[in-house]
A and B are shown apart, each in its own frame.
Chain A
Amino acid sequence: MIKLGPASVRMRAMSDDDIFSSRLKLLIIMAKAYLSDCPLGNYRKKAIIENANHVFYHSLHLVSVSSTLKDKGFEPQTEIVSKKKTSEEHLLHQRVQLLAVMAKALAEDRLRGHFRKKALTDNLNKICETLIFKFQIRDVNFLKVA
């Protein structure tokens, strides 16, 4: 029997945040695979659209919860979260939502043309810089077959 996942001491139930960050990581991989010309079959397209919808609405929810808290006077403490960091987080969420829209477009064959692909690449790079996310398509060769 093989064991996958964290060591015993780090095992726990999956939270909404775990699901969001894992789905965001998957969305980044999906977009990178597309830019690396990995083939898209019908079920892959369906998976991309489902994942993009989850990420988009969860990100929207996180932004709205944050602004609702602010409206009710729950400002983050400056020593914990600086205004700069809050603004970076807001920008990251906008980029994540844009990525979700772009991913849906690519799954629906609407992301064509050099500049749209360049915009996708730039957006991915900015998100990965912020999250310090490293991934190589060669790590998952099976994506080259649909």
Chain B
Amino acid sequence: MNPVNIPNVKIAVIDDDLTVRDFVVTVLMYCVNRDVLSFDSGSAAWRYIEDYESPDIIISEIDVPGLNGFELMAKFKEKSPGKKCLLMSDNPANEQPARHSGADAFLAKPVSVNDLFRVVQTFVVRD
């Protein structure tokens, strides 16, 4: 894996389940000591990405309203090829499609604190 060390990393979390989304945001905000963007739908996230600067990393639930995780990732990767997209799901059937569609990581739910620490270790501070 290539060395990674992103200063002032910008992360976006997309999930329509507020309790899960808030939990993921809290862990990541604590780890990176930066604000973390959060959206309840793929379309809201994409509107932000189109209008403003792309985040360095997006972490999206696959089954979200508007654009689903796969559709959001395709648009995001087309706009910002070097940036990372991590997909989350509680459905095992989504793992292989995530792999084939070019996701950088697949986060199986229930997501733990350690899993999110590994996300930071792997995609933000690994050097």
Contacts and interface: CB of A to CB of B under 8 A. Distances in A.
Interface of A: 1-9, 11-16, 18-19, 22-23, 25-26, 29-30, 41-44, 46-48, 50-51, 54, 139-140, 142-143, 145-146
Contact of B30 (A4, A6, A9, A48): A48
Given A41-B33, A46-B29, 13 more contacts: A1-B106, A3-B95, A4-B115, A5-B110, A5-B111, A5-B115, A8-B108, A14-B19, A16-B19, A18-B110, A43-B35, A47-B30, A146-B33
Given A13-B90, A14-B90, A6 B110 contact: yes
Contact-residue bracket for chain B: 35 or more
Contacts, number: 115
Interface stretch (B41-49, B50-58, B64-72, B96-104): B96-104
Looking at B27, B34, B110, B125, the one whose CB has the most chain A CB atoms below 10 A away is B110
B29 A13 contact: no
B105 A3 contact: yes
Contact of A25 (B106, B113, B125): B113
Given A11-B108, A23-B23, A48-B30, A4 B124 contact: no
Looking at B30, B90, B103, B118, the one whose CB has the most chain A CB atoms below 10 A away is B30
Interface of B: 17, 19-20, 22-23, 26-27, 29-35, 89-92, 95, 98-99, 102-113, 115, 117-122, 124-125
